[in-house]
Amino acid sequence: MVYFNGDTFFQWKLLSWENSYKNLFRLQRRLSKSILVSDKAKALLFQKLILNSNSARLLAIRQVTQIGLAKSISGVDGKTSLTFTERFELNECLKYNMNNWIPQSFKKVSLIRKNGSIQSFNISTISDRAWQIVVRYSIEPSYEAIFSFRNYGFRFGRSIHDSQKDILLALSPEAYGYQKRVLKFNLVNSLSVFNFDFLLKKVLAPRGIKLGIFRLLKLGFKPFFSIDFEDIFSFNALIGNVILHGIENLFTSFRFGHEVLVLLKPLDREDFIVKKFRFFLSLRGSNLDISCISLFSIYAGFNFLDWAFKVDKNFRSISFPSSENYQIFLKRVKLIVNNSNYGASIKGSKLLPIIKDWKTYHRYCNVTESPFSLFYMKKRAFKIFSNEAKQDVYSTKRLIDKCFNLKLDFSNTELVKPSPYHTHNVFWTNYKSNRVNNLNYDCLFYKKIIYVYIAE
């Protein structure tokens, strides 16, 4: 353990982040196992160990000030960064005030989403965000042990593509998918108003942590799900998952965040399912708006998570990018291609991450067929790039192939379905090496790891 004194620069540099992650993960795994065997007394003990862990506090401070996407966003105190001395002072403040935390008010900040729209969010201060991350470290493993396997959103060990595969499997001819109907619920408005007492009774945490969460809720803290800013609002998503936990078990359904997809068999009644959902939300002090419910035919198709699902005339289930997602993607590409302020090489460097991100998201869809083959977009880009004096036919062809004809390998990026806290033998490693030599990347650490399960 590193203690606080005057020479803080070398102390922060000499911290072993790899050992800190190992210490935290070991406690989280034991916490999850305690919940699996319904030993809540021991689970509370492990939660207190995590909350008092020096590794958890330092990792939370590092996440807020160095790694997280919100590291340059200030709260009401106006601070966007902390010095080495201030980081250790914040560590001491979290240590002595963890169970009696008094949060500060929120600051309203407008952020730009991937689709180009602007949305306002409430941002906490650096110290409040660090406290929320430490609390998330202690609460999340306990709920990973009891969350349903049909809950895919905003969880470690669960991928958004798992939901796509399971929906296609449920709509396959072997599952008689051609006989089913689809009922879709959008519960984004149901999370805006809920019963605080119900949440505090349902959250498994020490009394001091529940008191801090209650003070946050009184200040206007709202649980919600945001795919574009998952790193910033991870604690909001965890609270939202706790509130909606169990709604996917009312019927054969799939939930990702606030969107619930219910597959109906020929004899199932829609009004009966809506009543069950309405009663479930009424217990949580919320209501279900009729405008948030949609009914689809499986042959006409439906949209879910920017994918379009349908059953063709041969009763096969297929998925492809939705029209809204494809139009937003084309708009982003056209703005770069038709921009006369950039040269061809700069346009290529700006197009590469956008096209790579789109193809990675739709990697299990058939994007080689029209209209998703990007043939006309490549033709338009080739015509504009070749008009530049510095480019000839061959250099333009190489630039187009570099941007549009990407060969992506997803064989080493598969995430296994169970939670990383479940099994007895769990080994985590970096993609490139067995040791974590460099952790200075701008994303969550658990996003960069794979889990290998060894059979006993």
pLDDT tens track for 303-347? 999 899 999 888 888 899 998 989 999 999 999 999 888 888 899
Q: How does the average pLDDT of the chain come out, rounded?
A: 82
pLDDT of residue 420: 60
Over range 352-368, report the average pLDDT.
86
Can you give the pLDDT at residue 422? 54
Average pLDDT over residues 195-206: 90
| Predicted confidence (pLDDT) at residue 418 exceeds the cutoff of 70 | no
In this prediction, residues 87-109 reach a mean pLDDT of: 90
Q: Confidence class of residue 445 from pLDDT cuts 50, 70 and 90?
A: very low
* Residue, of 247 and 227, whose pLDDT is higher: 247
pLDDT band with cut points at 50, 70 and 90 for residue 46:
very high
Statement: residue 215 has pLDDT above 90: yes
Residue 177 has pLDDT above 60, yes or no: yes
**pTM, full prediction:** 0.81
Pairwise pLDDT comparison (182 vs 7), residue with the higher score: 182
Q: What is the arithmetic mean of pLDDT over 168-194?
A: 89
Q: Which of 36-45, 152-161, 185-194 has the lowest mean pLDDT?
A: 152-161
Instruction: Report the range of poorest mean pLDDT among 5-9, 141-145, 206-210, 335-339.
Output: 5-9
pLDDT (mean) for 294-310:
90
Q: Is the pLDDT score of 455 beyond 50? A: no
361-388: buried (b, 16+ CB within 10 Å) or exposed (e) per residue?
bbeebebeeeebebeebbeebbebbbee
Q: For residue 415, what pLDDT band results from cuts at 50, 70 and 90? A: very low
Q: How confident is the model at residue 12 (pLDDT cuts 50, 70, 90)?
A: low
The residue-averaged pLDDT of 65-90 equals 84
| CATH numeric code, 148-187+244-321 | 3.30.70
Domain boundaries, the chain: 8-146, 148-187+244-321, 327-404
Q: Which residue has the higher pLDDT, 423 or 248?
A: 248
- pLDDT above 70 covers a percentage of the chain that reads 86
- The pLDDT value given to residue 52: 93
pLDDT band at residue 447 under the 50/70/90 scheme: very low
Poorest-confidence range of 28-42, 73-87, 299-313, 413-427? 413-427
What confidence category does residue 392 fall into, taking pLDDT thresholds of 50, 70 and 90?
A: confident
Three-state SS string across the chain, please?
CCCCCCCHHHHHHHCCHHHHHHHHHHHHHHHHHHHHCCCHHHHHHHHHHHHCCHHHHHHHHHHHHHHCCCCCCCCCCCCCCCCHHHHHHHHHHHHHHHHHCCCCCCEEEEEECCCCCEEEEEECCHHHHHHHHHHHHHHHHHHHCCCCCCECCCCCCCCHHHHHHHHHHHCCHHHCHHHCEEEEEECCCCCCCCCHHHHHHHCCCCHHHHHHHHHHHHHCCCCCCCCCCCCCCHHHHHHHHHHCCCHHHCCCEEEECCEEEEEECCCCCHHHHHHHHHHHHHCCCCCCCHHHEEEEECCCCEEECCEEEEECCCCCEEEEECHHHHHHHHHHHHHHHCCCCCCHHHHHHHHHHHHHHHHHHCCCCCCCCCCCCCHHHHHHHHHHHHCCCCCCHHHHHHHHHHHHCCCCCCCCCCCCCCCCCCCCCEEEEECCCCCCCCCCCCCCHHHHEEEEECCC
- Whether the pLDDT of residue 48 is over 90: the answer is yes
C-alpha 290/C-alpha 440 separation (Å) is 47
pLDDT of 410: 60
